[in-house]
Amino acid sequence: MRTRAGIKSNARALPHSVKELLGRQFPVLRRLSGEALQQDKWSSWLSSHLPPEIAPRISGVHERDGVLVVFAESAGWSARLRFALQELEAALRHEYPRITATQVRVLPRR
């Protein structure tokens, strides 16, 4: 908006992208976007460290308060995943010291 003194500046600058605009209007989207990035990071790490037959059976990963929860698509795969994660525990804690525990749960794929 123009005034006699020139261009009136807004207290908040205009957003540079749709993502920034939505992040301002909907903080929940910003949180979900961060969680999705974190889940992708964990999925990638687990895929590169787990045996090739187990990694595709992971249906989700979630980190909260130092606990890494890994979801397997069935009870059978969760047992195998639990043993595989125990073998990776030293590498996991070395690379991510904030992780204090791991849990395996069942979450069937849709």
Residue 5 lies in a domain: no
Nearest-angstrom CA–CA distance, 54 and 35: 23
Residue 40 lies in a domain: yes
Residue 64 lies in a domain: yes
CATH code of residue 80: 3.30.300
**Structure confidence at residue 39 (pLDDT):** 83
Residue 69 lies in a domain: yes
Residue 38 lies in a domain: yes
Angle at 35 between CA 22 and CA 26, to 5 degrees: 20
Residue 73 lies in a domain: yes
> For residue 36, what are the domain limits?
15-106
Nearest-angstrom CA–CA distance, 93 and 45: 13
Nearest-angstrom CA–CA distance, 22 and 28: 10
pLDDT digits (tens, 9 = 90+) for 63-77: 989 999 999 999 999
Are 73 and 109 spatial neighbours (Cβ–Cβ below 8 Å)?
A: yes
pTM greater than 0.75: no
**Residue 25 confidence (pLDDT) above 70:** no
Residue 3 lies in a domain: no
Which of 20-34, 50-64, 73-87 comes out lowest in average pLDDT?
A: 20-34
Angle at 43 between CA 107 and CA 71, to 5 degrees: 15
Query: What's the number of domains the chain is made of?
Result: 1
